[in-house]
Amino acid sequence: GGENTYGAIDNKIRNMISQVAYMHFTMHKSYKLNLEKKVKEKSRIFNVGYLGSDNLSKIKKQKNKELIYKKFNLKKDKLILFTYHPSVDKLKKKKIQELKKILLFLLNKKYYVIATFPGMEFQNQLIRSLLFELKSIKNFKIYPNLGTDYFNLMKFSKCIVGNSSSGLIEAPFFKVPTINIGDRQNGRIKHKSVLDTKLDFSDFKKKFIRVNSKPFISNIKKMKYMFGNKDVSGKILKHIKNEK
């Protein structure tokens, strides 16, 4: 609750759920403040951090690079994860062509690009069709979803490309850069590791050059994760137990 994604239908659903929820657990103090403006029972809003960080901590500690590379047949450290969802705006043919240019650019640079399907949003078939069109390229792989393997791959990735919330929430935990395309995630808090770009190939290339720069990489390594990273589930349980 309290988060905003102005370019996605999730925003309306999230707000509706917040209106009927009895207790609220946010992952950032700014989201807590946002939520306080929308619900009456402010005393039941607790800022605890991102619940998924408990699981990310375990994944981060796993020394499984060789196992993951073998499972997905990766030969070198040039992995990029790609996920793009349609936003609330109509997805025109020109935009699909820009996405295609971006993917072909990465593939021609000999990166291994692993793409996951979009969700059930309107016009999702246009994205799926693009992914299947490129499926025959040797260093391109597509999956409906990857489960926990997604985060195991993420921690070894060069960067995350697309407009998934994972690029803004989970990728910064592993200090992996994100090139966030378009306005779907507008309204969310963003770490220094997130570079926003228009759905425009020339703009994307500029951001990709920056992702590969030593000053940018060095800056990311020093950044602090803003969504909590210690026993978030324990904090939530404690608040529930103390509820009278």
Residue type, 94: K
Q: What share of the chain is helix, strand, coil (3-state, %, to 5)?
A: 45, 15, 40
Confidence of residue 10 (pLDDT cuts 50, 70, 90): confident
- CA 169/CA 154 separation, integer angstroms: 12
Q: What is the pLDDT of residue 121?
A: 73
Exposure on the CB side of residue 243, measured as CA atoms within 13 A = 15
Quick check: 86 pLDDT over 90?
Answer: no
Contact 243, 23 (CB under 8 A): yes
Quick check: 56 pLDDT over 80?
Answer: yes
Quick check: 89 pLDDT over 80?
Answer: no
Q: What is the pTM of this model?
A: 0.92
Average pLDDT, the chain: 92
Find, among 40, 42, 1, 36, the residue nearest to 18 by Cα. Answer: 1
Find, among 87, 79, 48, 103, the residue nearest to 174 by Cα. Answer: 79
Tokens describing residue 110: 């000999």
Q: What is the pLDDT of residue 33?
A: 94
Confidence of residue 67 (pLDDT cuts 50, 70, 90): very high
Q: What is the pLDDT of residue 202?
A: 97
The two beta strands, 24-26 and 178-181, are: unpaired
**Residue bearing the bigger pLDDT, 243 or 154:** 154
Q: What is the pLDDT of residue 7?
A: 75
Which residues have a Cβ under 8 Å from the Cβ of 71 and sit 6 or more positions away? Answer: 149
Strands ordered across the beta sheet of 194-197: 140-143, 112-116, 79-83, 159-162, 178-181, 194-197
Q: What percent of the chain clears pLDDT 90, i.e. is strictly above it?
A: 77
Quick check: 87 pLDDT over 90?
Answer: no
Question: How confident is the model over 113-155, as pLDDT tens digits?
Answer: 999 998 777 778 889 999 999 999 999 999 999 999 999 999 9
The strand pairing partners of 178, in sequence order, are 160, 194
Tell me if residue 113 falls in helix, strand or coil.
strand
Confidence of residue 228 (pLDDT cuts 50, 70, 90): confident
